[in-house]
Copies of this chain bind each other. A is one copy, B any other.
Amino acid sequence: MTTVLKLGGSVITEKDRAETLDGPALDAAADAIAAALASDAVGRLVIVHGGGSFGHHHADAHGVSTTDGTTDHVAVTDVHGAMTTLNRFVRSRLHDRDVPAVPVHPLSAASRDADGNLSLPTAQVETLLDEGFVPVLHGDGVAHAGEGVTVLSGDEIVTSLAASVDADRVGLCSTVPGVLDADDDVIPTVESFDAVADVLGASDTTDVSGGMAAKVQELLALTAPASIFGPEALDGFLDGERVGTLIE
């Protein structure tokens, strides 16, 4: 069984303070991951983390988004450098718990064509999984034909990876406990976008960088069931429980 787990950038960093880790939150996530691997509750695990306060402010400062790129190596180095720093923190906390985390930096592997379509080859990820490692990817810059380097979000990586490694389960650990209805209650199951379009808000559907509506649309397109849940439900998700909102 293969699971793709996204740790939201806002979960593991202090989103309002530049390049500041949320150490206790990352420790709790690493504890849950280590426990699940030790008990064999999850099989093969790929982790993807977002940027939080590490990547976003550099991208904003340089005017780089998922569609607007840069050919300035300083901008690329700022965004990629901050994200690899965060990635080292994540791997270090996992290593402290004997989780065999190995980095896979998307800037080194992926590219976009002139239409913005992502190509992320995954033979390296699958070989690492087969050999018992836990690949850890992250939001990053990506070479983009005609644009220089654009932003590649953690969510987009999850969608691409889940399909190419044929994931059985996908989990998005977010700061909210799931997709919320008009009363802020968690919607247990989402089977079509139309059913939740109203509560997600129409304007939100144009947010390509990770708004909830975009997440739901992308996850609906996957063959694997996907869950959106809060940090308190990470243990449960990794144990195979149904948590948060199930999108299938």
Contacts and interface: CB of A to CB of B under 8 A. Distances in A.
Interface of A: 69, 71-74, 76-77, 80, 91, 95, 99-112, 119, 121, 123-124, 126-128, 130-133, 142-149
A95 B80 CA distance: 15
B123 A119 contact: yes
Given A76-B102, A109-B108, A71 B132 contact: yes
Contacts of A103: 80, 105, 107-108
A127 to B, nearest CB: 4
Copies of this protein, total = 2
A77 B95 contact: yes
A177 to B, nearest CB: 32
A143 B121 contact: no
A145 B127 contact: yes
Given A74-B95, A105-B105, A109-B124, 7 more contacts: A73-B100, A103-B105, A104-B108, A108-B108, A128-B143, A131-B145, A131-B149
Contact of A145 (B71, B119, B130): B130
A28 to B, nearest CB: 21
A40 to B, nearest CB: 17
A190 to B, nearest CB: 33
